[in-house]
């Protein structure tokens, strides 16, 4: 008997960070080419293209209603629009419903906040972009400063580029180490940033003001959300 196909659903909403989505999507799409066991889809409330925080617009391949029982959901993050999406009942409701039967719920960057709003982080270790890691306790999570964190059926990745690391881990988990190694060679993922690794003792001071801007604009008109997020930050 043929095993049912396992659907990996990347969830999109307006204003997301494009690399949060496209990086891990590129990696996990390799599973589609490897055989019929997996299929990778991009789901949104409608099929209309959504904006990102770059000039790129993304057209979902399926609607939420068309993918009700994915094997895994992967949620990208972003800045102001992601905080605004915490109040999007359709989006949060889809995440909560899909996670009831999914084997895995994953996030990249501040997408973890959306998982938290859907009730998926309570009692778990989690991570997110370092600027917003202290917001995780608002959802009952224990913040962890790691590239990605796996706790039961939930895996959260740190900021933006960490989504590629997370996706390679998932390929290894789903298809084995050799498959993950082939994908890593295929995308030539061998980072050598021109300024070297990040020095966490020398964080640019102006990024603190960026955090405040995102919080102020993202939570504007939502005092209940602001109180929830900042009560323990």
Q: Mean pLDDT, to the nearest integer, of 222-226?
A: 94
Dihedral over Cα of 115, 119, 120, 123: its sign: positive
Residue 139: closest CA among 157, 155, 127? 127
Q: Does the reported pTM lie above 0.75?
A: yes
Q: Residue 35: which pLDDT band, with cuts at 50, 70 and 90?
A: confident
**What residues act catalytically?**
109
54, 107, 138 from 104: Cα distances, Å: 28, 10, 22
Answer whether 188's CB lies under 8 Å from 168's CB.
no
Instruction: Summarize pLDDT for 139-154 with one digit per residue, the tens.
Output: 999 999 999 999 999 9
Q: Mean pLDDT, to the nearest integer, of 83-91?
A: 98
Q: Residue 174: which pLDDT band, with cuts at 50, 70 and 90?
A: very high
Dihedral over Cα of 14, 139, 70, 104: its sign: positive
Answer whether 99's CB lies under 8 Å from 15's CB.
no
What pLDDT, on the 0 to 100 scale, is given for residue 2? 62
Task: Give the rounded percent of residues in the chain with a pLDDT score beyond 90.
Answer: 94
Residue 33: closest CA among 130, 165, 175? 175
Instruction: Summarize pLDDT for 43-74 with one digit per residue, the tens.
Output: 999 999 999 999 999 999 999 999 999 999 99
Q: Residue 3: which pLDDT band, with cuts at 50, 70 and 90?
A: confident
pLDDT of 17 above 70:
yes
Q: Mean pLDDT of all residues in the chain? A: 96
Task: Give the rounded percent of residues in the chain with a pLDDT score beyond 70.
Answer: 98
pLDDT of 114 above 90:
yes
Fold that domain 6-190+203-230 belongs to in CATH: Rossmann fold (3.40.50)
HSE on the CB side for 108, CA within 13 Å? Answer: 29
What pLDDT, on the 0 to 100 scale, is given for residue 33? 85
What pLDDT, on the 0 to 100 scale, is given for residue 45? 98
């Amino acid at each position: 008997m043929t095993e049912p196909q396992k659907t990996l659903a990347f969830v999109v909403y307006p204003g997301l960070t494009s690399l949060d989505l496209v990086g891990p999507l590129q990696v996990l799409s390799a599973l589609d080419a490897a055989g019929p066991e997996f299929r990778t889809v991009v789901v949104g409330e409608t099929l209309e293209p959504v904006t990102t925080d770059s000039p790129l617009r993304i057209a979902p391949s399926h609607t939420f209603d068309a993918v009700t029982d994915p094997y895994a959901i992967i949620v990208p993050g972003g800045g102001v629009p992601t905080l605004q999406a915490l109040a999007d009942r359709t989006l949060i409701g889809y995440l909560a419903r899909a996670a009831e039967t999914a084997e895995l719920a994953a996030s990249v960057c501040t997408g973890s906040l959306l998982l938290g709003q859907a009730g998926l982080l309570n009692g778990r270790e989690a991570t997110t972009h370092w600027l917003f890691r202290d917001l995780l306790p608002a959802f009952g999570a224990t913040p962890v400063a790691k590239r990605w964190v796996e706790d039961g059926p939930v895996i959260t990745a740190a900021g933006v580029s960490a989504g590629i690391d997370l996706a390679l881990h998932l390929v290894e988990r789903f298809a084995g180490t050799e498959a993950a190694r082939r994908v890593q060679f295929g995308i030539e993922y061998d980072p050598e940033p021109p300024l070297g690794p990040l020095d966490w003792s020398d964080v640019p001071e102006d990024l603190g003001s960026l955090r405040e801007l995102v919080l102020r604009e993202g939570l504007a008109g939502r005092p209940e959300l602001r109180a929830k997020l900042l009560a323990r930050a």
